[in-house]
Amino acid sequence: MAIKITDENKKLIIQGIVVLICLGFMLESFAFGNRGGGQQGPVQDSGQYSGVAELNMTVADYRPYLYVDGTLNASARAMVAGTEGVDEIIEDGDRTVISISGGRMAHDIYAKLRRQGINTYTLSTISTPSYVEITLLNGSTRGVGGTRFDYMMEPVAAIGGKVRMRMVVQAAGDRVAGIGNIVPIMEPVELGFNATILESSGRMFRYTIPWGERALDIANLTSRFGEGNVEYSRKDYVFLQEALTPQEMIAKKYDYVETISEMSIMVKPEFVDRERVGLDFGDAVFPDSTLTIRAEEDPGLGFGHVEKSSYVVAVPERAGGYYLFVDRYEIEHSAGEEGEIPVLMNASALGGCVMEIRGMAVSG
Dist CA 49 CA 171 (whole Å): 5
| The pLDDT value given to residue 4 | 42
For the chain, what percent of residues have pLDDT higher than 70? 87
Beta-bridge mates of residue 18: none
pLDDT value at residue 264: 97
pLDDT at residue 22, rounded to an integer: 40
CA 132 from centroid of its chain's CA atoms: 27
pLDDT bucket at 335, cuts 50 / 70 / 90: low
User: What does the pLDDT read at residue 46?
Assistant: 53
Mean of the pLDDT values across residues 153-168? 97
* 63-104 pLDDT, tens digit each: 999 999 999 999 999 999 999 999 999 988 889 999 999 999
CB distance 306 to 291 below 8 Å: no
Secondary element (H or E) of residue 126:
strand 122-127
Indicate if the pLDDT at residue 301 is higher than 70: yes
Strand duo 175-184 + 237-240: pairing? unpaired
Buried b (16+ CB within 10 A) or exposed e, 215-236: ebeeeebeeebeeeebebeeeb
Q: Are 290 and 207 in contact (CB under 8 A)?
A: yes
User: Phi then psi for 114, rounded to 5 degrees?
Assistant: -60, -35
Residue 239 bridge partners (DSSP): 264, 285
Q: What is the mean pLDDT of the chain?
A: 87
pLDDT at 224 over 80: yes
Residue 21 banded pLDDT, cuts 50, 70, 90: very low
Q: What mean pLDDT comes out for the span 142-171?
A: 96
Distance of CA 169 to the CA centre of its chain: 26
